[in-house]
Homo-oligomer: A and B are copies of this chain.
Amino acid sequence: MLSHAEENYLKAIYHLSQADKSDVSTNAIAEVLQTKPASVSDMIKKLSDKGFVDYQKYKGVNVSKKGRKEALQIIRKHRLWEVFLVDKLHFRWDEVHDIAEQLEHIKSPLLTQKLDKFLGYPRVDPHGDPIPNELGEIIIGNKVPLSEVPAKQKVLVTGVEDSDSEFLNHLDKINIALGTKVVVIEKNTFDGSMQIELPSQEIIFISKQVAENLLVTE
Contact = CB atoms under 8 A, between A and B. Distances in A.
A65 interface: no
A36 interface: no
A38 B101 CA distance: 33
Interface in A96-115: 98-99, 102-103, 106-108, 110-111, 114-115
Interface residues of A, number: 17
Given A88-B118, A118-B88, A107 B102 contact: yes
A57 interface: no
Count this chain's copies in the assembly.
Answer: 2
Contact of A103 (B85, B90, B106): B106
B114 A89 contact: yes
A205 interface: no
A91 interface: yes
Contacts of A85: 111
A118 B87 CA distance: 11
Contacts of A110: 91
A89 B114 CA distance: 6
A102 B98 CA distance: 17
A85 B112 CA distance: 11
B106 A99 contact: yes
B89 A115 contact: yes
Nearest to A98: B108
7 contacts: A88-B118, A89-B111, A91-B114, A98-B108, A99-B111, A102-B107, A102-B108
